[in-house]
Amino acid sequence: MIHINIIALGRMSEKFYADAVREYEKRLSAYCKINIIELPEVRLSDEGSPAAVRAALSAEAKQIEKHMTKGYTVAMCVEGRGLSSEELAARLSDLMTGGTSRINFVIGSSHGLDEEIKKKSHLKLSVSKMTLPHQLCRVVLLEQIYRAFKINAHESYHK
């Protein structure tokens, strides 16, 4: 069974997002081993200088790297590639049939992801061109991973 890690900066503070995450974790357990790793976001003042933001991203990258397992890594970032549900399903299917046993999805903080994490990733993926709260991004990502498994299993969830 494939192992999927969601490495995310920041905590789920809204109950309705946390409930949705738990629901998708439960649904995904039939298809994969899902592990959600929440890491603390480095706090900056509202007007953090570019140097302070770079330093925060670097510190967050060090935390992320400790949890990245060997395998395929996907950096969730605004400049990433947009995939349809079917394209994501095909990508996951190709990875699994190709022998990949672990996939890391990395969701950065409100300041994004450090360039080093992006460089170490196999794919840069965007959930949307629109700006979304990071908690919602996590829910959407989990739903799309679930949808991909349903598509690949030829089950009726996907429309």
Residue 148 neighbours by CB under 8 Å, 6+ apart: 85, 88, 89, 92
- Type of residue numbered 63: Q
Residue 47 neighbours by CB under 8 Å, 6+ apart: none
Q: Indicate the number of domains in the chain.
A: 1
Cα 31 from Cα 15, distance rounded (Å):
25
- Type of residue numbered 118: K
Q: Is residue 158 part of a domain?
A: no
Domain containing 140 equals: 3-152
pLDDT tens sequence for the chain (159 residues): 999 999 999 999 999 999 999 999 999 999 999 999 999 999 887 667 889 999 999 999 999 999 998 899 999 999 999 999 999 999 999 999 999 999 999 999 988 999 999 999 999 999 998 888 889 999 999 999 999 999 999 998 766
Q: Domain of 80: which CATH number? A: 3.40.1280.10
Distance from the first to the final alpha carbon of the chain: 25
